[in-house]
A and B are shown apart, each in its own frame.
Chain A
């Protein structure tokens, strides 16, 4: 099997996997970065969201070739100690219930706010509509993204 170099959370990693292995499974099974979650495998639920050069993307639908030479950030690397403004807002609002989808929600929100630091309520809903939360923590996701936006100024 081919060997790939990938840049994850600021470190260069070497993995030995089949070329069609989705980045999701490379992260989870080969690099032990299990914070990125499998939800649907077809880019519909957003649980596997990571940043590729700062853009939120679905790792279940990305191949290694597509991230060649790019920098990947996962939930584990969003901040050193869980103090990214989005993580702090998630904690302040106590967003999660089961928590399974929340890494994906946080990665979507953080990439969105980096590009749109002063979003309207509608902007927030448009950005977060791509991520499903089966526990329906949506009322708190709205609030947490707003708080994070205020704290990122």
Chain B
């Protein structure tokens, strides 16, 4: 593949030097070479391998036709960083975006740090370093031009890759790039003011749009090499089971089958060194079918007769339900935050409200099923595919195979959805063990059924919230979490209403299951926001106060300057609330429109959402969500709006429909016939507004999701009078209807 050549060439020749522009942040250098003639529009794709490179550094390249190539370091899962990260570099480099060609960077721990798609942090962490990278390159180019003219660099100006001196003479970046490459890399270069931005802040289409709409090879599923075989794996049919024996005689006789063997030994070796690996991958032996095509591998696998034994007990949703309720009723909690004395304040309260909220397991359902390419040779381990954590996964593969970290060459493809599932590289680890045993290039492909049955799921969680009110004020708030496998962590216990209520406590308890669980877009908050914000609505009803005023009054109590754990800003939160009230027409809607309000902070971003449920032919229908976001500077408004809409609708879809139940250790659904995802008919309109405050960018991939479920629940309550305590909401369809007498009335 031509992209392959590009990466190899770069790796050998262009990554030779390393710069530390960012001083502790993301390390990004740049590679400049060849002449850049002013005002020449680039061809959309350039043959990078044919260019004569200066070994200058990685990441920015300028060719003689005026094209600038920028390598985007982080995995692209649909969050848009392959467009927005290069925009930041291009802005400070001062080149025309039309002349920029973007390539996905490979895993390169010498030149980049945090090549991760996770936690909504790519832009936030990359912000300073990416700008410095562009600005430092520009300064070196200007210095080189100034030296050639014998003038001071301060006398030169730059526009779109053309340097102009006081006498009006011009040089293109390409004319001076060889001189510039010899200069020291400057540090702490002055950056542009936001008012000077020409690229950032402008709607910029997805850099891969032409390839996507014409069906070009982009994804791990599409990757092929000469001599590659396809692997389909027969896995334990239920959690807690291990392979005893198998008969593959029928499969071996089938057309296209290359080999059949088991894997597991190397993985168990890795699990000895890294015990947590068994939390994401079964250590049972698995049966691998290698064939000349995907279909032949999948088809042959179905004919294998395998015997499995139960090693640990098969679990069920019914059982989890009881266990989590018992945990909430019990006293085996770990306290994550405790202010004042919640018990005393509740005892002294005039009014007490206690409610419990329930959520199911969820699969990630990435449209591109899990897959990975691996080729293990003496020279290197070549891995290609969709992965949110390339560095961590490469490290696991090195350990698995007993190889040096430098032996692992990992290329990231465009990713057909991540949602947290591809933080866990179990499929890449499996592909490596298979390729090592097969001694040939292998592409491991999960069927949809495997993808759903052998997931690393969002765990089932229950929240119980108890609040006390005295003299018209909320005096106590006690949040209890009971979860399968793992509990909330990090700063989540310090999110709102921490700091707003004098007596405040967060307690967590967990049950260890043999079902593999992990991060799912906006971990914990994806459900907690709905529970908390439903609760505040109900609390306001109990107190007979305005729902939004209650939230604003609580925010008045918050003093982040007195508590470093509190990172949300009451002022920024009040601003998104104010704008959401205004933009959604809160309180000014006709009688048949019922609204639900939520404000929330996570991933460093403040969000307010209003859901509109309208009564149509007597039925409540979710029509619209207004979403107001403060994520600081918006690098690419078009991509950001897309991401906001996607996040909101993800929250809507999963709170309405998402449920993966277990019986006898197996999910009761394994494909989209019995597992319901949001479809277009059920998708409300999303209206997006960004707060323009010029502050540094914060997260955007996740924070619009958590509030959506709460906004929907609060709007349905307004429309039907029914509170929704269980997700998915469609599980209790009777609560989504308007009581008959009200329709008549």
Contact = CB atoms under 8 A, between A and B. Distances in A.
Interface of A: 1, 17-18, 20-22, 25, 28-30, 32-42, 44-45, 47, 74-76, 78, 82, 87, 90-91, 94, 96-103, 106, 125-126, 128-129, 131-142
Given A97-B642, A99-B218, A99-B414, A132 B679 contact: yes
Nearest to A18: B255
Given A44-B672, A76-B214, A137-B642, A38 B80 contact: no
Contacts of B414: 98-99
B214 A75 contact: yes
A45 B369 contact: no
10 contacts: A29-B293, A38-B369, A44-B672, A45-B367, A87-B214, A96-B78, A96-B206, A99-B208, A133-B367, A136-B646
Nearest to A33: B215
Given A94-B638, A96-B209, A136 B645 contact: yes
A138 B683 contact: yes
Given A97-B80, A98-B414, A42 B672 contact: yes
B488 interface: no
A136 B704 CA distance: 13
Contact of B221 (A34, A91, A128): A34
Interface in B618-641: 638-639
B212 A102 contact: yes
Contact of A32 (B78, B224, B649, B650): B224
Contacts of B296: 18
B217 interface: yes
A129 to B, nearest CB: 5
Contacts of B646: 97, 135-137
Contact of A98 (B213, B415, B680): B415
Nearest to B78: A98
B206 A40 contact: no
B293 A100 contact: no
Given A35-B215, A40-B448, A90-B213, A138 B680 contact: yes
Contacts, number: 182
B417 A100 contact: yes
B686 interface: yes
B368 A37 contact: yes
B295 A21 contact: yes
B448 A125 contact: no
Given A94-B203, A94-B206, A137-B642, 20 more contacts: A28-B294, A37-B368, A39-B367, A44-B671, A76-B214, A90-B209, A96-B209, A97-B643, A98-B368, A98-B414, A99-B206, A103-B215, A106-B213, A132-B367, A133-B680, A135-B646, A135-B650, A136-B645, A137-B646, A139-B645
Interface in B289-337: 293-296, 299
A89 to B, nearest CB: 10
A75 B216 CA distance: 9
A134 B680 contact: no
B672 A132 contact: yes
Question: 3 closest Cβ contacts across the A-B interface?
Answer: A35-B215, A98-B78, A100-B416
B416 to A, nearest CB: 3
B512 interface: no
Contacts of B642: 94, 97, 137, 140
A103 B255 CA distance: 30
A97 B222 CA distance: 18
Interface string B58-96: 000000000000000000011110000000000000000
Given A25-B295, A97-B646, A82 B679 contact: no
A40 B672 contact: yes
Interface centre among B208, B219, B672 (most CB of A within 10 A): B672
A91 B215 CA distance: 13
Interface string B565-588: 000000000000000000000000
Contacts of A106: 213
Contacts of A128: 680
A25 B369 contact: no
Given A38-B369, A136-B650, A97 B78 contact: yes
Most chain B C-beta atoms within 10 Å of own C-beta, residue among A74, A96, A131, A140: A96
A139 B684 CA distance: 8
Contacts of B340: none
A4 to B, nearest CB: 14
B472 interface: no
Given A91-B209, A125-B681, A142-B680, A29 B672 contact: no
B79 to A, nearest CB: 7
Most buried by B among A44, A97, A102, A128: A97
B367 A98 contact: yes
A74 B216 CA distance: 12
A20 B448 CA distance: 19
Looking at A74, A100, A102, A103, the one whose CB has the most chain B CB atoms below 10 A away is: A100
B210 interface: yes
Nearest to B648: A136
A48 to B, nearest CB: 11
Contacts of A21: 293, 295
Interface string B346-367: 0000000000000000000111
A87 B205 CA distance: 14
B616 interface: no
A101 B499 CA distance: 44
B679 to A, nearest CB: 5
A37 B367 contact: yes
Nearest to A22: B295
Contacts of A100: 219, 366-368, 416-417
B367 A101 contact: yes
A134 B214 contact: no
A13 B650 CA distance: 41
A40 B215 contact: no
A134 B366 contact: yes
A119 to B, nearest CB: 13
Given A98-B415, A134-B367, A139-B686, A129 B215 contact: no
Contacts of B366: 98, 100, 134
B673 interface: yes
B273 interface: no
A152 B449 CA distance: 39
